Amino acid sequence: MTKQAIHRLEKYSKAALLQSIKAINRSALVPLKTEIILKNKNYSNEFIIRRLISNLPPHLNSCGPRPNPFIPWDKNLEIAKIFDDHILILNKYPVQKGHMLLITSQWQPQNGWLTRKDWKAVSEIENDTKGLWFFNSGPKAGASQPHRHIQLLPRTHHELICPRDEWFTKQMINDVEKFDFDCSSYIIAERKREISCKSTDLLYKQYIELCKVMQVGDPSIDAKPNVPYNLVFSDNWISLFRRRMDSMNGFSINGLGFAGYILAINRSDIAWLEKTGPHVLLKEVLLPIN
């Protein structure tokens, strides 16, 4: 990653907060109320575990076919158009203010390969607004919608990216191709990042490298990824987690779980989590390479 200082205008983050106020007034945005629980000293510095107080959002409570909320997307949630192929919108049911979704303006499958156009849109936003990015590749990786969307939790320059930022940083490797992946279910690599037109190519190339090394597949060979996965990335690191299932003991885990954010709902076994700890929960939903 380049050592030059990154100057950001944060126009997207500011626009998200302004649009949130308008959307709430129009009943288009439904912020979720939560409370922090399980302040266990063994993992309190690495995880923020919340219990949902609000009613369960429809995407967490329903099963079977659902209407696509992104075709068309709710204009009350729209923040900005990103080039010709993407729209930045608000998450309709946020826990954090300003939670954004980068969606494709036309249908693209969530379980397909991320394209160079996707990474170009990510780079455009990232060069302006700092934050924690995550992508859930399908239902087994915690995705609630089949239409392609990449998520962003904005952060100020003084905010910690996520509770497990130190954990990610300690496990970073410099050379993906030399990573020893025997029996591994995740990889964390140092970001190759520049504030320039090259940032898209660097991101896309590193994404493909991670997928190949973790035996997720190769878009030049495979029609779609062979294994569900989560991507979680910041300015400094990018990670990929192989998934075998989306939940354990009532806890649904998406990319945010690996960043240290876990949400308990009415069917979650909080006593089990308190006894075993969140590290066991995350391990159970991962798929190691044999």
* Ordered domains of the chain (ranges, CATH): 11-58+73-284 (3.30.428.70)
The Cα 47–Cα 260 span in angstroms is 4
Q: Given this model, what pLDDT does residue 3 score? A: 43
Q: In this structure, are residues 142 and 253 in contact, taking their beta carbons and an 8 Å threshold?
A: yes
Query: How many residues are there in the chain?
Result: 290
| Per-residue model confidence as pLDDT tens digits over 55-107 | 888 766 655 567 899 999 999 999 999 999 999 999 999 999 999 999 999 99
Q: Given this model, what pLDDT does residue 179 score? A: 80
Q: In this structure, are residues 96 and 75 in contact, taking their beta carbons and an 8 Å threshold?
A: no
Q: Given this model, what pLDDT does residue 4 score? A: 47
Rounded to the nearest 5 degrees, what angle is found at the Cα of 12, between the Cα atoms of 129 and 256?
Answer: 60
Q: In sequence order, what are the residues at sequence separation of 6 or more whose Cβ sits closer than 8 angstroms to the Cβ of residue 137?
A: 110, 111, 143, 225, 228, 229, 230, 231, 243
Helix H or strand E segment including 61: helix 58-61
Whole-number Cα distances in Å, 109 to 70, 105, 232:
12, 12, 19
Whole-number Cα distances in Å, 83 to 14, 71, 118:
19, 18, 10
The Cα 288–Cα 272 span in angstroms is 23
pTM above 0.85, yes or no: yes
The two structure tokens encoding residue 43:
């993992």
Q: Given this model, what pLDDT does residue 254 score? A: 98
The two structure tokens encoding residue 224:
């779609």
Q: In this structure, are residues 274 and 40 in contact, taking their beta carbons and an 8 Å threshold?
A: yes
Q: In this structure, are residues 12 and 79 in contact, taking their beta carbons and an 8 Å threshold?
A: yes
Q: Given this model, what pLDDT does residue 176 score? A: 86
Q: Given this model, what pLDDT does residue 63 score? A: 59
The Cα 191–Cα 182 span in angstroms is 22
The Cα 90–Cα 102 span in angstroms is 9
Q: In sequence order, what are the residues at sequence separation of 6 or more whose Cβ sits closer than 8 angstroms to the Cβ of residue 64?
A: none
Question: Low-confidence residues of the chain, pLDDT below 50?
Answer: 1-4
Q: Given this model, what pLDDT does residue 193 score? A: 65
